Structure formats: structure tokens, C-alpha cells
A and B are shown apart, each in its own frame.
Chain A
Amino acid sequence: MSKKEHDVSRRQFLNYTLMGVGGFMAAGIMSPLVRFAVDPLLKGKEGAKMVPVMDVKDITNEPQNKKFTVKKVDGWHKFDEQQIAYIFKKKNGDILALSPICTHLGCTVAWNDDPSHPNQFHCPCHGGRYTKTGINIPGTPPPAPLGVYKTQVKDGKLYLGEVISRGGS
């Protein structure tokens, strides 16, 4: 190997040193700032707490509209959010708790309030309809079934957790 290939000119050496030191300082300043800014991406998602909603013995085969409040934490803002569930027993006895948020554009659907389509969930905004188990009826706007609440039965009470999406947005 010739000596020439290893030669680094004074100018190059100073350039590399200055860029290295400058880059190190810039990284030292920027890394805490960037980590600070991207914190929401890296914070683990906390699952919703299970909330008691009604007595299991009161659950019928007919969907009942139940309102309940969930404690929410949004950064420094803590608040109570009211949520709605349509709760009923399926034919096989399983409890189903449906979220009434229409999967089309997010309006609130109601049970059995459209005389021309009895025993269906009906959305007042664009006429979206769902079967009793929340399956969207083809030919109406909703692209996916209604979401279902996570359910749990404890000491004769029905507890509801977060809404699990069944496809769609």
C-alpha cells in the first residue's frame, strides 16, 4: 500500500472533526426533544377498565339501551364519558353488548324505531340498517357490523370494557 492512499489532507481532517463534533452536539440537543415529541407513539395503550352496567338477571332477548359512564384520562385531562350499549341475550344464551356507533359515519343507531323495518338497528342519518346481532344489511350504507363491547359477568353483574371493532373503520 502506498502512503498516498492513506493521506488525509489537513482540510479533510478538520472538516471531519468539525462535522463529527457538530453532529454529536446537534444529536445531543435533538434526541431528547424528538423523544419528547414522539412520546404518544411509544406510550403503551391502556385497555379500558371494566365497568358494571346492569344485573345479568335483567338481560332479556330484546336489546335494551343502557347508558353508563367510563372514566377517561387524556393527558392531564380526566373526564367521565357517557357510553351507550344495546344489551341482550342471543338465542344460545350468550350476552351480546353492541356499540350503537354506526360504522358508516359515526351517527348513533337506535333499535327497532323504523316501522318499515322492525327488529333492526336503524341509523337516522343515511338509513343504514343492521340485524339484531349488529350485522350490517347489504344495500344500506354501513360497510361493517356494529362494534361489540368486551363483556364479563361477575357476581351477577354484567361488566363492559372496550369496544372491539368487527371490521370497517
Chain B
Amino acid sequence: MLQRIYDWVDERLDITPLWRDVADHEVPEHVNPAYHFSAFVYCFGGLTFFTIVIQILSGMFLTMYYVPDINNAWDSVYYLQNQVAYGVIVRGMHHWGASVTIVMVFLHTLRVFFTGAYKKPRELNWIVGVLLFFVILGLGFTGYLLPWDMKALFATKVGLQIAASFPFIGDWIKLLLQGSDIVGAQTLARFFAIHVFFLPAALMGLLAAHFLMIRRQGISGPL
């Protein structure tokens, strides 16, 4: 049945070359854990992407209940966690997944660093990777405020003070992020917009660039 649907579409749109381009590529022996178990370190990039997919999915579903408003944010989180079926699991996926993503990004960076994979001709992909790292840190920082509890508020205050310590333009950066004199209604709305629209858009664009480059250049050779 599936095969017949596929054939029907393929006959009209010739989709086979499209996914062949994505799916068919050489996996060299030195990155295949079936040959050398230590090659599992080459899985960290893919695992990072996997955790990002989980973050995007769980985040999409959380916004079905979450409200980015100072009067309702905490109550809506409390409601979705305590009254909605699987609320604890969905919020837990996003909460713990955030930490796991940052750990995986870090491990992936270490692998690339110690295998020297960032060297010519892959410098541009390293740069995109560093930008991705900053975007993911930004997602972590903005997402931390959204539950609107005491920890969220004071962690954000500290984070904004760090931003304010930037030479010359620190106060300006802080005001831009905070959107107001205090961490309050406008900060929450702003952080929500950044967390849910701006940074994910940047993340997807950078990921696309990251993957296109690795496909064009191939995996770096063995040590």
C-alpha cells in the first residue's frame, strides 16, 4: 500500500532523487561505531540535532497552554503541569531536554575540536557551529524566564546584570533585552517572542547551513 502511494507520487513528481541526495552518503569506516566503538563520539552532532527536534516538538505543544503574561504565566504553567494529562512529562521533556541539548552541543564541540575537524576547508562550518552554540545559549536564557517563578525572575536579573557589564553599551543592551526599567511585563513578552520566534528561526537557518556544508565537504578524515 505504502509502496503504491509512493510509486504514484514518484511517477508524477520524481521524488526519488530528492531523498537519495539526502539519504545516500558515504559513512567512512573511522566514524562507524560498528567498526571502532570509540567512533561513537561522531554521533554527538546527530544526537544534538535529535534533542533539538525534541525541544521544538515539546515547545510547540507547551504553547498550547502557556500564556506569556505576568498575571497568567505562572498559573498557566501550574495548570498544564498539574491538571493536564502528561503535563509533567511534556514540560519535563522541555526542561531536561534544554540541559541535555547544551551538554550535547558541548560534547559535539569537543569532538570537533580534538579531531581537528574545524581546520581548512571547514572553518566556515566551525563559525556557523559557534553561532549555533550562542543561539542555543540564548534559547536557554530566554526560556528560563518563562515559568515566571522566583528562580526565573532572579536568574534573569542576574543574567541581565551580566549583560549590563558589557563595556560602553552594556546598559543599552540590558534595556533592549529588558524592554523596561524592571524585569516585568514587557520583559516577559519580549523573552517569549525571542524564545519562540526569533531564535528558533535563526536556529533553523543556521542548522540548514551547518548540514549543507557538512554534506558538501564530507566528514573529515581519520586522525
Asked if B64 lies at the interface with its beta carbon under 8 angstroms from chain A, I say yes
A16: CB under 8 A from chain B?
no
Segment among A28-36, A52-60, A91-99, A155-163 that sits at the interface with chain B: A28-36
**A59-95 vs B, Cβ < 8 Å mask (1 yes, 0 no):** 0000000000000000111000000000000000000
A interface, size bucket: 10 to 19
Asked if residues B72 and A76 are in contact (CB atoms below 8 Å), the reply is yes
Give CA–CA (A42, B84) in the complex, Å: 10
B residues contacting the other copy or chain, number (CB 8 A): 21
The A interface, classified by DSSP as helix, strand, loop or mixed, is helix
CA distance in complex: A35, B83 (Å): 13
* Contact of A46 with B by CB under 8 A: no
> Are A36 and B87 in contact, with the CB atoms below 8 A?
yes
Residues of the A chain whose Cβ atoms lie less than 8 Å from the Cβ of B78: 76
- The answer to whether residues A39 and B61 also contact, given A32-B93, A76-B79 and a CB cut-off of 8 A, is no
A76 touching B76 in the complex, CB below 8 Å, given contacts A32-B90, A33-B57, A37-B61? yes
**B-side binding surface: helix, strand, loop or mixed?**
helix
Shortest CB distance A1–B (Å): 25
Contact (Cβ within 8 A) B72 A36: no
Query: With A76-B72, A76-B75, A76-B79 in contact, is A36–B61 under 8 Å at CB?
Result: yes
Show the binding face of B for A, using Cβ within 8 Å: 54, 57-58, 61, 64-65, 67, 72, 75-76, 78-80, 83-87, 89-90, 93
The 8 closest A-B pairs by CB, nearest first: A76-B75, A76-B79, A32-B86, A32-B89, A36-B86, A36-B90, A33-B61, A39-B84
With A32-B86, A42-B85 given, name 15 new contacts (CB 8 A): A29-B93, A30-B57, A32-B90, A33-B57, A33-B61, A35-B86, A36-B85, A36-B89, A37-B61, A39-B84, A39-B85, A39-B86, A75-B76, A75-B79, A76-B76
